């Protein structure tokens, strides 16, 4: 499989997906695995629930697929960092859980705290805990996660302050496309951090996947299925020294 991509100078290759949901869970998983296997990316981010979508009518089957998907992804991820969200069932509750995979392990997980009531998420998912939204570190780089709707909440921006890279798996609707673009850029500038948005390209979705620098420079292209950009992680410290926010 050939993936369209582009990149520029830097020492850390970021890849963010902007894909349509395929016909079956297995096809979505195979597509992601093909990319992981062929790519040299250091960080790969997939849209919210990229493998199954919000398939509420088959929620039990969706939750069972989590085990299949995680097993296969852990086998291929290697030294890459992979971020995606999946539906997980624990006891009798379902969670929209973002997981971070690296070196054959789940190194971090976070359940969606702010459920999107316009999409009836609160009727199907149990909300995660606000205090679990925090920074985490891999190989000396500090990361944070916001899942889709959570991007709108300024108190969460404060909660993840200090992250070098904020990743946002999303299924953000087309009517609110401009909101996604403005908010994600504002977060990058306000928190002086890289922001990586991965949003669905389904017909009713906004696309707008992007890699945004701490200075607010945007690397995006709605025509691409996978957007790749090399970044300089030291830009975070450079910009924080230039404009001191104390």
Domain containing residue 37: CATH number: 3.60.110.10
Strand duo 194-199 + 210-212: pairing: antiparallel
- Which two three-digit tokens encode residue 136? 């985490």
Asked, for residue 5, whether it belongs to a domain, the answer is no
Torsions phi, psi for 211 (to 5 deg) = -120, 120
pLDDT of residue 146: 98
What pLDDT was estimated at residue 10?
77
C-alpha atoms less than 13 angstroms from C-alpha of 211 in its C-beta half-sphere: 24
Does a structural domain hold residue 3? no
12 membership: H or E segment, kind and range:
strand 12-17
Residue 6 domain-assigned (yes or no): no
Domain membership flag for residue 122:
yes
**Distance, CA of 180 to CA of 89 (rounded, Å):** 29
In whole angstroms, give the CA distance from residue 146 to residue 140.
20
**pLDDT (0 to 100) of residue 95:** 98
Q: What is the extent of the structural domain holding 88?
A: 12-242
- Token representation of residue 222: 């709605």
What token pair was written down for 68?
A: 């299949």
User: DSSP state, 10?
Assistant: -
**pLDDT the model gives residue 151:** 98
Residuewise pLDDT in 10s, the chain (246 residues): 333 444 456 799 999 999 999 999 999 999 999 999 999 999 999 999 999 999 999 999 999 999 999 999 999 999 999 999 999 999 999 999 999 999 999 999 999 999 999 999 999 999 999 999 999 999 999 999 999 999 999 999 999 999 999 999 999 999 999 999 999 999 999 999 999 999 999 999 999 999 999 999 999 999 999 999 999 999 999 999 999 987
What pLDDT, on the 0 to 100 scale, is given for residue 58?
Answer: 96
Q: How many domains is the chain partitioned into structurally?
A: 1
- Please tell me the distance from the alpha carbon of residue 191 to that of residue 7, in angstroms, as a whole number: 24
């Amino acid at each position: 499989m050939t993936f369209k991509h582009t990149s520029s100078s830097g020492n850390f290759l970021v890849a963010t997906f902007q894909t349509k949901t395929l016909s079956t869970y297995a096809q979505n998983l195979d597509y992601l695995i093909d990319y992981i296997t062929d790519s040299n990316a250091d960080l790969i981010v997939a849209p919210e629930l990229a493998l199954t979508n919000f398939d509420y009518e088959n929620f039990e089957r969706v939750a069972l697929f989590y085990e299949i998907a995680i097993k296969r992804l852990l086998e291929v991820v290697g030294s890459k960092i992979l971020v995606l969200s999946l539906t997980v069932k624990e006891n009798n509750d379902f969670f929209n859980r973002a997981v971070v995979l690296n070196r054959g392990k789940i190194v971090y997980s976070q359940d969606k705290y702010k459920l999107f009531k316009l999409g009836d998420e609160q009727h199907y998912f149990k909300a995660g805990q606000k205090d679990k939204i925090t920074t985490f570190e891999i190989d000396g780089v500090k990361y944070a996660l916001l899942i889709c709707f959570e991007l709108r909440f300024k108190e969460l921006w404060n909660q993840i302050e200090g992250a070098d890279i904020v990743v946002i798996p999303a299924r953000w609707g087309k009517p609110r496309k401009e909101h996604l673009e403005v908010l994600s850029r504002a977060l990058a500038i306000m928190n002086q951090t890289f922001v990586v948005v991965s949003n669905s390209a389904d017909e009713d979705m906004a696309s707008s996947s992007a890699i945004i620098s701490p200075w607010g420079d945007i690397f995006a292209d709605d025509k691409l299925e996978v957007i790749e950009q090399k970044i300089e992680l030291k830009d975070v410290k450079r910009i924080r020294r230039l404009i001191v926010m104390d």
